[in-house]
Chain A
């Protein structure tokens, strides 16, 4: 029972040490096609166009944050 605070500190310490940002030069894997949320952008665009025509509404497609983030 006495060791619980120490255990909590230890666990948080271990978890925090895992909190690290992916550095810009480490984003090679994000640039891979299989990391893309949308594997067929052309098809998705076509589907969106159809949807917009049918529903007379657009937007709300979510967001995509994949890619290498290169400028």
Chain B
């Protein structure tokens, strides 16, 4: 009888854990989880393919006003650091990928966007706010975690990118 109760208790505990899996927040110096996300053309882009480049990763959604505000700036980064080992990767987390695609069509941006409608990437790194951006150095390590977006933050972010490119 005791064994049966214990078994039941373990089953219940396991089900609680399964529904609430433990995730570990990403920290400075950590590597990104190995993941592949698809872009608008259906091509898979893996984080490992970005090794050797400084990468600015931004997690955004169309319903997030600050995220939308950051898009023109992210597009400008591409031209600002053109010809250097730098990449911007915008990870869209809208439930409906089509919404984001239509939104981007209106913005006419050449931003490198991948889609994560299930939120597997932000879930794996446990982000706290939207938007969150990460700066990854050439070795694939996180060197900056930036929460939120304001145009006032951009000089500091650009300086960090420049510093990472010179390393």
Give A residues with C-beta under 8 Å from B. Answer: 5-6, 9-10, 13, 16-20, 23-28, 31-32, 68-71
Contact = CB atoms under 8 A, between A and B. Distances in A.
Contact of A71 (B8, B95, B130): B130
Contacts, number: 69
Interface residues of B, number: 31
Interface of B: 5, 8-9, 12-13, 15-16, 19-20, 59, 61, 63-67, 93-95, 119, 122-123, 127-132, 147-149
Contacts of B5: 5-6
Nearest to A5: B5
A34 B135 CA distance: 36
Contact of B122 (A9, A10, A23, A68): A23
Contact of B95 (A13, A28, A68): A28
Contacts of A16: 16
